[in-house]
A and B are shown apart, each in its own frame.
Chain A
């Protein structure tokens, strides 16, 4: 009897499926505690204005526009090239825990906050824009490059070249394997770079975002529509003008275009150090602990809780959206002309700044966490959908493979599933970072408090809160590492991060 029982075939849910169901379960639990409500009053007037604007797109005067486009491109190209190099060097040392933590810290901070920090030292110099993008991107590049190399190490013929020194081993056995992945990833990162460089316009750098934010803030929806169309065009056309060998050339031209003499005033560094000193120490009082506890209670605790609630729900929702989106751009499902429409849709959804999506949803649903969650889910769902769709194109199916929903559920989904989870893990950190910029919804995330601290020139508080965000990022990073290893996820060719 007992022997029979042990031999009985037991059905077991695949681990990876459990993983995603687990994420959804966590999201459902979070939504019980999250502040979600829907109140619609009279948004139609504003929507009418938006539609009117969309049908009459307008652009800034040509001279300003040309400058804005060139600056947007130049910041992105220089920053991505620099961070690819820096990220590559860091990735070679990624086995050291300290390097991993360093990278997790620098990518935990949103580009806008890096921008505000660098401005303190360099002012509105082009280098500010470059560094604001290149610093967090280096951390991201390092992580992704390291994972690509890790994959290559497992399969590489270098294992049979044990006698060779490590440099030759790398050059002859590993580099040829990882190079194509590095190259596709770097070009994908360029898309993210263009988005980031646009967003930097929000704090005053002269990129497209400068005029985009002005138009949006003034309710000039024609201008918003014109600039967004231009941004979609830039991002949609990357594959036609960006090639890896051209990137360094572009970067040199862009640097020449951006070049301005830099005169650092060292007194600013002194100012910065004073600003970073915690207030009680500056006033040489002994209230350091009460100061810390007050921030902990009033800002860190609610900030961490709200950030976690929003990001966990947004993460699961992004996953579900991505599963819906990816067939739209996959050769396995959609004919060419329809796929173009799908690509267009996903470019729009992933390139429209979350701030604008959130505003539209806020008009529709009123203030709560819901517009923030939905805006994050739409943006990230579109990115993961795009990546999974592209990955699915490489799958070779038998001629007699099923069609339609059968093909989706029995052929494609199981084959892209692990990859899908890997992409989703990458987006986790990003969602936490991006929840920072949705203060207009009155949702008190950590980013909301960081922004408060910058607005009131309390750099000591800002740095403290940024450090907490970085800690959260390190925790998420190690958890998703563990999760990936447990699920034996391959972070192969197209397993790319986030922007």
Chain B
């Protein structure tokens, strides 16, 4: 019977696939794409070399594009360490119990977002968002960005007791901070919310025209980016590996390496530092 033959071969193939030995893992990390993606690979490859020296094992950097893809790679053990944003870190640690936030940037302890506006709105820097923003058009950054979406939305809801869709005539998701700035500067959207570091970097680069777009409000401080490691790395790379890794991250002092993030230094962090982010995400309905 030819059919039985075929099914037998399929069975063999499936068994063969299932029995393929898992190869020895190379310690791999990723970073969510955020600021200055174009030189991401180059810069993070240097970070991989640094970690490899410090830990005396092979370390590889896996470039990842989208936020959910970064979280998925972490959960699927394709990467064991990740430089996550506040929200993506919370999502990852919820999906993979046992994983730990181990270090954050000096600046991430008190991160903030800027609300920016096109000059035609006539808005200027103020202590509070003016009621006049109702009915304007507004752009967030990426949907899962802490500084470009989660916290700005949280403060909008807190002040106006409305969802962004109720508050504004149109709400867009530009994809990242640089696009938000370009769209607000061109007046395509009247308002936007961006990561303050991204704004300041572009201000230095000269790609922002202060006559066209300006900061109208700064959010209160909140915790953001952090290094998160899988809970099972000690089992694979030996007792105490997590501590060793944490020490290596905290000891990173070379400005060329720190520029990849860009941060001035790393300090230690724990899951508890991000409880506020988790609660905010729940309040907004991004996490059940």
Q: Flag if B182 contacts A264 (CB, 8 Å).
A: no
Residues of B near A220 (CB, < 8 A) are: 38
Q: How far is the CA of A440 from the CA of B176 in the complex (A)?
A: 10
Interface string of A56-79 (1 = CB under 8 A from B): 000000001000000000000000
Show the binding face of A for B, using Cβ within 8 Å.
39-43, 45-46, 49, 64, 116, 119-120, 123-124, 201-204, 206, 210-211, 213-215, 217-220, 223, 261-266, 268, 271, 279, 359, 362-363, 365-368, 439-442, 451-452, 454-458
* Further 7 A-B residue pairs, CB within 8 A, beyond A120-B72, A123-B72, A362-B188: A46-B186, A49-B207, A123-B73, A213-B65, A220-B38, A442-B137, A452-B143
Q: How far is the CA of A266 from the CA of B77 in the complex (A)?
A: 12
Residues of B near A456 (CB, < 8 A) are: 91, 143-144, 286-287
**Shortest distance between the CB of B285 and any CB in chain A (Å):** 8
Residues of A near B91 (CB, < 8 A) are: 456-457
Q: Flag if B76 contacts A268 (CB, 8 Å).
A: yes
**Shortest distance between the CB of B66 and any CB in chain A (Å):** 5
Q: Flag if B67 contacts A455 (CB, 8 Å).
A: yes
Q: Flag if B65 contacts A124 (CB, 8 Å).
A: no
- Taking chain A's interface residues, is the majority helix, strand, or loop, or is none over half, making it mixed? helix
Q: Flag if A363 contacts B38 (CB, 8 Å).
A: no
Q: Flag if A262 contacts B17 (CB, 8 Å).
A: yes
**Shortest distance between the CB of A124 and any CB in chain B (Å):** 6
B262 in the interface (beta carbon within 8 A): no
Residues of A near B287 (CB, < 8 A) are: 456
Q: How far is the CA of A45 from the CA of B211 in the complex (A)?
A: 12
Residues of B near A42 (CB, < 8 A) are: 118-120, 185-187, 212
Interface pairs (28), CB distance under 8 Å:
A40-B187, A41-B120, A42-B118, A42-B120, A119-B72, A123-B76, A124-B69, A202-B65, A202-B66, A204-B66, A210-B63, A214-B40, A215-B38, A217-B175, A217-B176, A218-B178, A220-B38, A261-B23, A263-B22, A263-B23, A265-B77, A367-B189, A368-B170, A440-B172, A455-B68, A455-B144, A457-B68, A457-B71
**Shortest distance between the CB of B253 and any CB in chain A (Å):** 27
Q: How far is the CA of A231 from the CA of B91 in the complex (A)?
A: 36
Residues of A near B216 (CB, < 8 A) are: none
**Shortest distance between the CB of A46 and any CB in chain B (Å):** 5
Residues of B near A46 (CB, < 8 A) are: 182, 185-186
Q: Flag if A45 contacts B120 (CB, 8 Å).
A: no
Interface centre among B18, B66, B119, by most chain A C-beta atoms within 10 angstroms, is B66
- Chain B residue at smallest Cβ distance from A213: B65
- Chain B residue at smallest Cβ distance from A442: B172
Q: How far is the CA of A263 from the CA of B176 in the complex (A)?
A: 34
Q: Flag if B175 contacts A440 (CB, 8 Å).
A: yes
The residues in B between 169 and 216 inclusive whose CB is less than 8 angstroms from any CB of A are 170-176, 178-179, 182-183, 185-189, 207, 209, 212
Q: How far is the CA of A458 from the CA of B62 in the complex (A)?
A: 25
- Chain A residue at smallest Cβ distance from B281: A456
Interface string of B61-105 (1 = CB under 8 A from A): 011111111011101111000000000000100010000000000
**Shortest distance between the CB of A16 and any CB in chain B (Å):** 39
Q: How far is the CA of A451 from the CA of B173 in the complex (A)?
A: 11
The residues in B between 7 and 55 inclusive whose CB is less than 8 angstroms from any CB of A are 17-18, 20-23, 33, 36-38, 40-41
- Chain B residue at smallest Cβ distance from A42: B187
B288 in the interface (beta carbon within 8 A): yes
Q: Flag if B69 contacts A116 (CB, 8 Å).
A: yes
Q: How far is the CA of A218 from the CA of B143 in the complex (A)?
A: 17
Which of B23, B65, B69, B186 interacts with A43 by CB under 8 Å?
B186
Which of B69, B179, B288 interacts with A204 by CB under 8 Å?
B69
Residues of B near A454 (CB, < 8 A) are: 68
Q: Flag if A362 contacts B69 (CB, 8 Å).
A: no
Residues of B near A49 (CB, < 8 A) are: 207
Q: How far is the CA of A367 from the CA of B172 in the complex (A)?
A: 8
Q: Flag if A43 contacts B187 (CB, 8 Å).
A: yes
With contact pairs A214-B37, A214-B40 given, residues A262 and B20 touching in the complex (Cβ less than 8 Å): yes
Q: How far is the CA of A455 from the CA of B87 in the complex (A)?
A: 11
Q: Flag if A45 contacts B77 (CB, 8 Å).
A: no
**Shortest distance between the CB of B84 and any CB in chain A (Å):** 13
Q: Flag if A363 contacts B188 (CB, 8 Å).
A: yes
Q: Flag if B37 contacts A366 (CB, 8 Å).
A: no
Q: How far is the CA of A93 from the CA of B23 in the complex (A)?
A: 41
With contact pairs A271-B75, A442-B172, A457-B68 given, residues A219 and B178 touching in the complex (Cβ less than 8 Å): yes
Residues of B near A210 (CB, < 8 A) are: 63, 65
**Shortest distance between the CB of A354 and any CB in chain B (Å):** 14
**Shortest distance between the CB of A293 and any CB in chain B (Å):** 16
